[in-house]
Structure 1
């Protein structure tokens, strides 16, 4: 039986993280687990209170918020499992989730990373994810298959190779991790798992989805439905993903598309919705690319804003 390291990151959501730990203890049936919780600079620090309450859990504290990729990378450094299962702290597991993913990985050594089916926690039965379509490198657009639909099993036959894993729940083979490396931390939030999937593919592995396995996701608990933080990183990282993974020709065409279609559309939407504060944030997301290399560790966003 393969050893599995669960890695999750907490940032100012102790109750949400505790709900996940409870589900891993009370619902999960897979026995060979190592659970690692990374606290990503929360204030106040919940780790001293957690340590005596959860003696079987490994807690790691970062004194600053290192983002989604940075927090998970810290956890990865402490993981010893043959498979690593990175799950958002705002998820709750189902009984056979981990066992099914392990069995699928065991059966196919070509799988470098795999995600389960995801339902919205607050609306059980509503799909969030059953896989992704491939990325269009000229528009940086792809689709999350099945999102917002009632789950009637209509996509279950899609189990197998998919465009991308979902950042809320992705199990990676240690050998694939060692070849592809950890997530790029300069994304901070959003698109880092898509970039990671591309590097895993380049390392010779496949990205799969197993729709017999299910996890529940409390979408946007940490960041919120719409925020300046989200607007900045969603737009900056959309451009960054194509810079890093597309050809020069693809990036040029994408830039034309972005400036001619996306910029006017977004500005009109901000004005229409009276979200005037998002306009300078959106422009910052674009101009970051004029002054920073693709691998720059300058986030470009003051997290104290």
Structure 2
């Protein structure tokens, strides 16, 4: 990963999300940027080669179609290997940049150039619907044992209350701007997680050497619903497995033991009881299988 001509590489991963990615690319195409950039789209095992369709419509993009779904980290890692930018801007394909993105990104790049101790920043994230509702304006640290924390500004209406940059323990996976030099130092995203917790684990690795910041002067809109998300056994499995895997990888000694005991005996048990009461037996099985899979992964971590 040597330094190449572009100032910035936009990297996004598409998975059966053609319409969202079209909108994402159309917005980039309609903004005149004052810096050199490239746009990398990785189609991560969609049912059809959506990269080819997008390339025909947006010739300025580069990327590829992966016949296998490599997960969030795996798809982004392909993008990292293909990228040539000095800075890497990881954006979910269901995000939209604001029309003022040129000024905002230029300011973020300047911030990173002036602060080499900073390893990455996340802008303010607001929902697309409603557009004045905040999704992310920073976060508090995870507690040592329960892995709980608070996402600052979550589902609050925008009133200008979070206009100061602040140091945070991790970046939001929907929008992460990271210098290439940091990726060269820390390494690629951990692919063991496949889905959920991978960017959190990556940020913890980065945070051992660099600080991370919420950047209040920039904005990204996220199409993720502000209402209750899709509740699937697939999601339950990976959340269960990866929460345990994250605790094992990022806690040590007695703190690790207590965290694992809490997650298995308290958090998982509580969730299983809730699923049983609601007759969601597939979710109960997902917690069992996710827990078993996590302990198998401990041996190889």
User: Is 1:102 paired with 2:109?
Assistant: yes
Counterpart in 2 of 1:32? 36
Counterpart in 2 of 1:91? 95
User: Is 1:199 paired with 2:210?
Assistant: no
Asked if structure 1 preserves the Cα contact closer than 8 Å seen for 2:133 and 2:155, the reply is yes
User: Is 1:66 paired with 2:66?
Assistant: no
User: Is 1:218 paired with 2:208?
Assistant: no
Structure 2 runs not aligned, ≥5 long: none
Change (3 A) 1:61 1:286: same
Deviation of 1:93 after TM superposition, in Å, equals: 0.4
User: Is 1:137 paired with 2:144?
Assistant: yes
Counterpart in 1 of 2:84? 80
Measure, in 1, the Cα distance between the counterparts of 2:201 and 2:26.
31
Deviation of 1:205 after TM superposition, in Å, equals: 1.1
Change (3 A) 1:30 1:130: farther
Q: Structure 1, residues 74-97: CA drift from partner, whole Å, max 9, x if none?
A: 000000100000000010001234
Counterpart in 2 of 1:162? 168
Secondary structure at 2:281 match in 1: coil
Instruction: State the TM-score, normalized to the length of structure 2.
Output: 0.92
User: Is 1:186 paired with 2:192?
Assistant: yes
Measure, in 2, the Cα distance between the counterparts of 1:289 and 1:195.
15
User: Is 1:118 paired with 2:122?
Assistant: no
Asked if structure 2 preserves the Cα contact closer than 8 Å seen for 1:232 and 1:284, the reply is yes
Measure, in 2, the Cα distance between the counterparts of 1:269 and 1:75.
39
Change (3 A) 1:47 1:263: closer
Deviation of 1:235 after TM superposition, in Å, equals: 1.4
Counterpart in 1 of 2:238? 233
Counterpart in 2 of 1:256? 261
Deviation of 1:272 after TM superposition, in Å, equals: 3.0
Q: Structure 1, residues 157-208: CA drift from partner, whole Å, max 9, x if none?
A: 2x13111100000011111111100100011111111111111122x21111
Measure, in 2, the Cα distance between the counterparts of 1:16 and 1:170.
18
Asked if structure 2 preserves the Cα contact closer than 8 Å seen for 1:28 and 1:93, the reply is no
Measure, in 1, the Cα distance between the counterparts of 2:139 and 2:300.
25
Deviation of 1:250 after TM superposition, in Å, equals: 1.2
Measure, in 2, the Cα distance between the counterparts of 1:194 and 1:84.
17
Measure, in 2, the Cα distance between the counterparts of 1:51 and 1:29.
20
Structure 1 runs not aligned, ≥5 long: 297-305
Asked if structure 2 preserves the Cα contact closer than 8 Å seen for 1:8 and 1:89, the reply is yes
Counterpart in 2 of 1:302? none
Deviation of 1:153 after TM superposition, in Å, equals: 1.6
User: Is 1:171 paired with 2:177?
Assistant: yes
Counterpart in 2 of 1:48? 52
Deviation of 1:294 after TM superposition, in Å, equals: 5.7
Deviation of 1:220 after TM superposition, in Å, equals: 6.5
Measure, in 2, the Cα distance between the counterparts of 1:263 and 1:234.
10
Residue-pair matches, total:
292
Change (3 A) 1:161 1:273: same
Counterpart in 2 of 1:303? none
